[in-house]
A and B are shown apart, each in its own frame.
Chain A
Amino acid sequence: MFASAGDALLSHGMKQTGNISLHHLQSVIFAMANPWVAAGIVLLLAFFAAYTSALSWADLTYVLPATSLGYVVLALVARFALHEQVSPMRWAGIALITGGVGFVAGGPALTEHEPAHAEEHETVSSGAEL
């Protein structure tokens, strides 16, 4: 959700800023002063915190498809807030993503690599005491 909303805000802000020329790369820094771009960055930071937290207990190939549900939200935001066209092809894309996420969600979240688990059980019990 945060990633989609952040991308949409960035898109709106960057359209206000206008095209950035490769000869004036510094203008990308000034673009960050645009309130829409700044708000987009804040939301993307919130997404990043949640994403790294998920990566601490689950595989990358599990977390990444799960976060892609955000692209479904992004398409809806692009359609209803930014008034971009969402064709039947894009709705089919949304269906594929949803199916893919359902697929990966049914499997294990983490590849067991060996040790580490004695410590984990210990921390779980000490965490429960708190």
Chain B
Amino acid sequence: MKHLYTWSAIVVIALASVVGDVLISHAMKQVGDVGLLRRRAGLWTVVTRVLGNRNFVLGVGAMAVAFFSLLFALSWGDVSLVGPAAASLTFIGNAFAAKIFLHERVDRRRWIAALLVAGGVALLAG
């Protein structure tokens, strides 16, 4: 039963992470390069612009769901299983989501990298 709880939490972590990553990535592209923005308009402008972005706030909400799921999962399973397993699923999900929703050019190099990294974190869980 504890095993089922752990894997359910891992799936929730991965789904919430993908939603959060896509929303936050989209928000940060809307804000623009924060290094340039900070030099041009100051740190306060960067903070208000980031925190005032609706996609960023929604993304942080999704990340909060992932985080609390992580706390539950860590109380049930080893960090060396939960961390890599959730991350592995998140990598694959993010590669698809980035291509579909963010229109990123996920070329062969990036697919191979995503698969290698997902395979690597899956092995870490083994």
Contacts and interface: CB of A to CB of B under 8 A. Distances in A.
A98 to B, nearest CB: 8
Contacts of B70: 10
Contacts of B57: none
A130 B98 contact: no
B22 A104 contact: no
Contacts of A127: 36, 39-40
A67 to B, nearest CB: 9
A109 B33 CA distance: 13
B83 A74 contact: yes
A59 B104 contact: yes
Given A94-B120, A111-B105, A55 B28 contact: yes
Contacts of B68: 28
A35 interface: no
A8 B25 contact: no
Given A7-B79, A8-B79, A78-B80, A28 B71 contact: yes
A65 B124 contact: no
Interface residues of B, number: 62
Contacts of B115: 100
Interface residues of A, number: 62
A110 B48 CA distance: 24
Given A60-B104, A68-B121, A93-B84, A107 B28 contact: no
Contact of B107 (A82, A107, A113): A107
Interface in A97-117: 97-101, 103-104, 106-107, 111, 113, 116
B92 to A, nearest CB: 11
B21 A56 contact: no
A90 B72 contact: no
Given A71-B84, A103-B113, A93 B33 contact: no
A60 B94 contact: yes
B34 A96 contact: no
A125 B21 CA distance: 31
B122 A56 contact: no
Given A56-B29, A127-B40, 10 more contacts: A60-B21, A61-B98, A61-B104, A71-B83, A74-B79, A96-B123, A100-B116, A103-B116, A107-B109, A127-B39
